[in-house]
Amino acid sequence: MLMLTFVTLIFFSALYYVEQQVRLQQLNYQIIELKTQKKQLQEQQKTYELQLHQLKRLDRIEHTLHNRGFVPLEKEQLRIVQETPGKQENGGQKWSEGQR
């Protein structure tokens, strides 16, 4: 009887060990997969940053605007208006919600 208990204990210990090894391998595969996914996402991020940089380039923007018929403003065409504090655009009257 003692021998049967001992053999059963060894069998279940071995079974538990094998189950842990299988689980360890599954986790290792998941780690490898996640590392691969992380690398792909980092490469994609670099691509997006490069595209963003290219889209923000001033010469590209100017070229696109010129192709669409926009022309640069002349100095005489540009007016900078600053609103003085306390003075309002509508003759000093405050706008109410209904007037907007």
pTM of the shown model: 0.51
Longest alpha-carbon distance in the chain: 107
Express each pLDDT in 8-49 by its tens digit: 999 999 999 999 999 999 999 999 999 999 999 999 999 999
What DSSP designation does 95 have?
A: P
Mean pLDDT of the chain: 86
| CA distances (Å), origin 84, targets 57, 70, 89, 92, 97 | 35, 32, 10, 12, 23
* Secondary structure (H, E, C), 17-80: HHHHHHHHHHHHHHHHHHHHHHHHHHHHHHHHHHHHHHHHCHHHHHHHHHHCCCCCCCHHHCCC
